[in-house]
Amino acid sequence: MRTTLLAAALALSPSLALAQAVPANGEVTKIDAAQSKITLKHGPIKNLDMDSMTMVFRVGDPAMLKPLKPGDLVVFEAERVNGQITVTKIRKK
């Protein structure tokens, strides 16, 4: 019974729904591998309530930057990690 109630409470919690990353589209404009940062011109990022813009992101894993170059179209996920907006997944379109 407790498990069922807990599952129902988690499913209805709006704060948890917002925490889940949602894929966004973008274009790589700059890569700073030494600082583990990427600049993306991106569409809306719904889970962060962010409009389209160009901005610099930290990346969760610097290895994600290796296959990318400026001009690449990408699909990515970004989340708040330790208070900073961080790309947690990224792949070329």
Q: What is the 3-state secondary structure (H, E, C) of 9-62?
A: HHHHCHHHHHHCCCCEEEEEEEEEHHHCEEEEEECCEHHHCECCEEEEEEECCH
Q: Measured in whole angstroms, how far is the alpha carbon of residue 28 from the centre of its chain?
A: 14
Domains in the chain, please, with CATH? Answer: 21-92 (2.40.50.320)
**Verdict on whether the full-model pTM lies above 0.75:** yes
pLDDT interval class at 64 (50, 70, 90):
very high
pLDDT of 67 > 60? The answer is yes
Q: Measured in whole angstroms, how far is the alpha carbon of residue 72 from the centre of its chain?
A: 16
In the structure encoding, which two tokens stand for residue 26, read together?
Answer: 């973008």
What residues are paired with 81 via a beta bridge? 84
The pLDDT of residue 15 is 43
